[in-house]
Structure 1
Amino acid sequence: MRSLRRHPLLVPALLCAFAVLAARPTDGGDGGAGEGAYGSADSGISGQVARLYEDAAVATQRYEAGRLKTEGQRARALRVEALLDRERRESAVMREDLGRIARAQYRSGGGLPLTAQIILADSQDELMRGQHVFSQTQLAVNNAIDKSRRAERRLAADEAKAVAAWQALEQRNAELAGLKRDIEQKLDQARRQLQGQADASVAAGACRGAVRLDQPRKPVTNAWVAPVEAYTLSAGFGSGGARWANRHTGQDFAVPIGTPVRAVGTGRVVKVSCGGAFGIEVVVEHMGGYYTQYAHLAAVTVDQGEQVSAGQWIGQSGTSGNSTGPHLHFEVRVTPEMGSAVDPVPWLAARGVPLG
């Protein structure tokens, strides 16, 4: 089911700096503790993914703004095309009028020389009337010719404008598409590297120290939040499947690798581990005797024993462990360990966080 609570993946912020803390062994439940810390390559990839998410969000905003602008250009170009059609019809009518006037002059003898008109005129009044008719006819012809020439010049100018408008439209669309494609390619490559490092950690059964990434500048004001900002709900609590021994024990959020994962509420990190079905996981203890688990991660940004606040990044989503694709497995438990899970959807809804 598609989430109705759509937001950009990241709050627009400049994610340009991050520090690597010295390694602290983590007491790993499933996979045990690991030694060492994330090296510069590890933290570099995590930070690169986070920055690329920010770039992708900005690029998407630019693309949408550009798309709206190109829609306006398209409307203007269509108006120009409609104007051109009208001007072409008017020019055709003018040409027909000129032809009709020329044929009428030929039939009426309107082109007789002045000397012949004087000789053939029966009276001065007839001569003056003839001259008046001739002058009026000549004026009509000259006006028609001038009008036709102006229309032809205007038509040529408007045709050039129409061509330029369509060319500008196509060029802008190509530039925006290229911008998005370049960022998406870089992000896809960085995601693969990040997941590769996560798989290596899971294979070794050893978690490394936290990768420290700058948090969004916009603070979270709610006491409870969803574990990811933008998502599609996939497997729900209690659903059946070949990959679970009994029933699914949490709620899955389908999100791309590297998506920032947030603590849903204030608490203390009681577990950071690697290995086993959950791959890289983080468990947070909250007031009231509840625990939340965040599994199949690609990286962690907190250490065991650390205090966290609602909305704080505690990891990056992935597909480590027993996972068929990128997603966050989220559980609410009454103990830190597997087997005590409750349905997280009504649990979050009761705290003002509806999912859907």
Structure 2
Amino acid sequence: MVKIDVRKLISFGKGSYIVSMPKSWIEKNNLKKGDLISVSDDGFELILKANQEEKKSDPKEIDIDSKGKDMEVLKAEIVSSYLNNYDTINIQFDNNNNEAPKIKEILRNLSGLEIMEQTSSRISAKNLININEISIGNIIRRMDIITRAMIEDAILCLTGQCSDDSIHHRDIDVNRLYFLGSRVIKNAMINPRVAKSLGKDPWQLHSETLMILRLERIADSQKRISRYLSKLSLDKTSINDLNKIYISMSEAYNDVMKSYYNQDKGLALNIEVTNKDRTISCDKFLEKFTLTHSNSKSKSIHSSHVIIAKIIENLKSTSVEIRNIARTVLCCE
């Protein structure tokens, strides 16, 4: 629900009236006494716009001490600093520690960050790109292209036609784009001028946040599936059945992205409705595989059951995210 702030009209002099401005709006637009405000008369509405040029904010810098921290905790701190639009990230570490290569790898996976200085106990990385000029739409298209190829190639890991390492490296590229997209969107959400320059309203920014998240999750599932498939040895019938499920999933993904780009609600609605069919086909495959090999006491078959269950779990997760993209399209006006 939109909150309406009611203000009292005050008489000023003989022919003028004044209304106080919300402090939050003044601070949000970096305004001060004497700045100009544009006023547009639209009948029953007055539209106020901040009229001065955008002021360059001071670069944000943060120091992170890695001493005594687990590498995953340190990674979370570095990534969150990046997403919070820090321009310079300085990491301190013990000079007798071997953390530097791992820290550099984390930094290299964040688009725009370049290592500017490194000593025996400190690494300093600086952002070199202007996120105000980055197109969110281009980020989504690049994530889509990579993810689309990952879906097509992941099933090939079962027959050795594609390496799971190849899928893993592409997932890193998707993650890099996801972090960049999150940084761009957050910057636009807290800076109205940036949002306006990108031609985005709050709902569009929200929808694009959901889009990059869902594409990242689909890519993650393909990474896991490819890893499991590379460890699996299946009979010809099972390979054919699994391949049919993957073809269906790939077609659904292509259709939902087409519905997103074209804002085709009819196509999106069909993806929403058929999600249940894709889920059922996954469950039937798992049930058939279990019944076919239920009498086997081989340890390898038991291991295959576990791997198949994990593959089906990630295929169903992929289908859910495809459905969620369709829901994003259906919610757009």
Same fold by TM-score, threshold 0.5 exceeded?
Answer: no
- Please identify the structure whose Cα radius of gyration is greater: 1
Q: Which has the higher contact order (CA 8 A, sep 6+)?
A: 1
Normalising by structure 2, report the TM-score. 0.24
Normalising by structure 1, report the TM-score. 0.22
